[in-house]
Amino acid sequence: MYKLSGNLKVFSIILMVLGLAGLTYGFLDTPKTVDDVKEILAAQESHHEEGAAMAEHGDTHKESFVDEARGEAGYSAHAMEKHEKLMDEEHGGNHMEHVLHQMQTKPWSATLVSAFFFFMIALGALVFYAIQYASSAGWSPVLFRVIEGITSYLLPGSIIVVAIILLAGTHFFPWQDHELVAEDKILQAKSGYLNFPFFVIRAVLYLLGWNLYRYFSRKNALQESSGDLNPYKKNFKISVYFLVFFIITESMMAWDWFMSMTPHWYSTLFAWYVFASMFVSAITVIAMVTIFLKSKGLVPFINDSHLHDLAKFMFAFSIFWTYLWFDQFMLIWYANMPEEVVYFVMRIQEYNGLFFGMLILNFVFPILILMNSDYKRIPWFVMLGGIAILVGHYIDIYLLVMPSTVGLNWSFGVTEISSILFFLGLFILVVGTGLSKVKLQPEGNPFIKESEGFHY
């Protein structure tokens, strides 16, 4: 039976404390007035001019200096030029207020990115779990306690994400700005769906539905050890209903929490795209936690064929994600409709390295590392591929949020690192505690013998 070690518990708490301190600093350090914004822009311009002067003199340290300047202020030289142009066009005032709003939004956005990333791992693991029950899969029951441990993060993770979504207001969702809606016919046409009361109702519905399924499926699974088949039959039925519920609510969640950040833009593939990122990240974490437990000798009943199949899912859904990424990108690019291409224009122009780097991490690395069948049985190969996949899909969520909420005013600094530390610490603590509550070897499942003898 697994027990969360004191060292790991202390480590997770340290991560949370450091993360919370950094997040507090990030929220307090945001500019409060337009004058603060002007000072930041002036400092950036000064850095930019000094960097240009150093380039003229052939200073070999130019590149590192410019990178440091960009990191401090969160701008590129190209972004600075755009700010100056917008100031000229809009007489400075309105634009500066817009920049202030985006800078104040940045810590909210960084927190949401990390909060949702770890939450979606738990939710994706729950969906994978439901699929195993609904399909009467014979290979996977030995993994059920591991998956249930990961899904224990669902309740705190979902509450945090919903709280951020509801409290952020116009930091994320322009359709909550009544003055803006009054001047925008498109937002007025969508107000029957995009209004705050209905938005709250939907969010609460998602939270309740997902967590209730997790609660009852876990309860039934633990009752299987009695030898009675009824708990298994109940789980089969509620898993089928849950998957139907999930297909609907995940689509609406993707529209509500991400697509409505840019309410004029839409994509019919968007919900599938978010699901693919969620699902492959979850399977990756299931594989990595399994490898960790095997290294401790705690799950001898899980063999390399189970690991092979998890790695096969990692590989397959990385390809599936890439297909959706390319399909959405290609169709929008080919149509070249202004209301659609605006989504990719911002990401390619201002987030170019992250945008295409994400594609390398989420497609090229899994291809190179996990295509070979033998490599799927080697734990350190799977871990290496898993790290690339998780980093790539964190960037994926980052690119869903940041361009829509902070635009040009992005950077990766204290707030982003702190949010990762906080939610990573919370995830380790909650999942470790969940794994330690019961024996890791399932009992009573009608397919358990088949699963224990599984060989590919």
- Give pLDDT, residue 64: 38
Instruction: State mean pLDDT over 206-225.
Output: 95
Categorize the per-residue pLDDT at 71 as very low, low, confident or very high, splitting at 50, 70 and 90.
very low
Q: How confident is the model at residue 45 (pLDDT cuts 50, 70, 90)?
A: low
Position 218 pLDDT exceeds 60: yes
Q: Bigger pLDDT: 409 or 124?
A: 124
d(CA 143, CA 285): 12
Q: Is residue 207 predicted with pLDDT exceeding 60?
A: yes
Amino acid at 222: L
Residue 141 has pLDDT above 90, yes or no: yes
Question: What is the rounded CA–CA span in Å between residue 123 and residue 113?
Answer: 15
Tell me the mean pLDDT in the region 147-173.
95
- What's the 3-state SS for 9-58? HHHHHHHHHHHHHHHHHHHHCCCCCHHHHHHHHHHHHHHHHHHHHHHHCC
- Positive or negative, the CA dihedral 268, 269, 274, 276 is positive
Mean pLDDT of the chain: 87
Tens digits of residue pLDDT in 253-299: 999 999 999 998 888 899 999 999 999 999 999 999 999 999 999 99
Specify the range with the lowest mean pLDDT, choosing from 91-95, 144-148, 157-161, 422-426. Answer: 91-95
Which spans in 93-192 are helix H? 93-134, 144-151, 154-168, 178-182, 185-189
Distance CA 441, CA 451 (A): 11
Of 257, 250, 256, the C-alpha closest to 271 is: 250
Neighbouring CB atoms inside 10 A of 94's CB total 12
CA distance 224 to 448: 11
Q: Which of 313, 281, 286, 314 lies closest to 390, judged by CA?
A: 281
Model confidence pTM above 0.85: yes
Dihedral angle sign, alpha carbons of residues 254, 433, 134, 372: positive
Confidence (pLDDT) at 68: 35
Read off the pLDDT band of 57 (50, 70, 90): low
User: pLDDT per residue over 309-330, tens digit each?
Assistant: 999 999 999 999 999 999 999 9
Tell me the mean pLDDT in the region 189-196.
92
Mean pLDDT computed over 344-365: 93
The pair of structure tokens assigned to 142 is: 């030995």
Higher-pLDDT residue of 317 and 33 is 317
**Beta carbons within 10 angstroms of residue 183's beta carbon:** 9
Average pLDDT (372-399) is 94
Residues whose CB falls within 8 Å of the CB of residue 401, separated by 6 or more in sequence, listed in order: 109, 112, 113, 116, 172, 258, 261
Domain map (residue ranges) of the chain: 106-452
CA distances to 57, 239, 435 from 214, in Å = 63, 10, 15
End-to-end CA separation in angstroms for the chain: 27
- pLDDT score of 52 more than 80: no
Buried residues in 334-364 as b, exposed as e (16+ CB within 10 A): eeeeeebbebbebbeebbeebbeebbebbbe
- Percent above pLDDT 70 for the chain: 89
Cα(265)–Cα(9) distance, integer angstroms: 43
- State percent of the chain over pLDDT 90: 67
pLDDT score of 373 more than 50: yes
Mean pLDDT of 379-404: 95
